[in-house]
Amino acid sequence: MAAKPPCSGPLATLPFAMADTPQPPTALPTAADVDAAANRLAGVALRTPLISSPVLDAAIGARVFLKAETLQRTGSFKFRGAYNKLSTIPADQRSGGVVAYSSGNHAQGVAAAAQVLGMPAVIVMPSDAPRSKRERTAALGAEVVLYDREREDRTAIASGIAAKRGAVVVPPFDDPMVIAGQGTVGREIIEDLTALGLAPDVVIVGASGGGLIAGIALAIKARAPGAKFYSAEPEGFDDTARSFRSGKREANARMSSICDALMSNTPGAITFEINRRLVGEGISASDAEVGRAVAFAFRELKLVVEPGGAIGLAALLAGKLDVKGKVVVGVLSGGNVDAELFHQLVA
Query: What CATH number is given to the structural domain containing 222?
Result: 3.40.50.1100
Domain boundary among 134, 156, 174: 174
**Which domain covers residue 313, as residue numbers?**
26-76+177-346
Confidence of residue 173 (pLDDT cuts 50, 70, 90): very high
Same-domain check for residues 200 and 318: yes
Q: Is the pLDDT of residue 223 over 50?
A: yes
Q: Is the pLDDT of residue 162 over 80?
A: yes
Asked if 321 and 239 sit in the same domain, the reply is yes
Q: If you ran DSSP here, which 8-state letter would residue 45 be given?
A: S
Domain identity same for 197 and 166: no
From the list 170, 165, 141, 142, the residue with the least C-alpha distance to 154 is 170
Q: Which of 20-24, 58-62, 152-156, 338-342 has the lowest mean pLDDT?
A: 20-24
Please identify, among 158, 174, 190, the residue that sits at the C-terminal boundary of a domain.
174
Q: Is the residue at 1 inside a domain?
A: no
Query: Is residue 124 domain-resident?
Result: yes
Q: Is the pLDDT of residue 13 over 60?
A: no
Could you give the CA distance from residue 347 to residue 38 in angstroms, rounded to a whole number? 39
- Given a cut of 90, whether residue 22 has pLDDT beyond it is no
Whole-number pLDDT of residue 149: 81
12 domain-assigned: no
pLDDT at site 12: 43
Residues 37, 120 share a domain: no
Percent of the chain with pLDDT over 90: 84
Residue 235 and residue 295 in contact, taking contact as beta carbons nearer than 8 Å: no
Q: What is the mean pLDDT of the chain?
A: 91
At 143, phi and psi to the nearest 5?
A: -85, 125
Question: Angle CA(332)–CA(240)–CA(338) in degrees, nearest 5?
Answer: 40
pLDDT class for 183, splitting at 50, 70, 90? very high
**Domain assignment of residue 19, yes or no:** no
H or E element, residue 228: strand 228-234
Alpha helix ranges (H) inside 238-310: 239-246, 269-278, 287-300
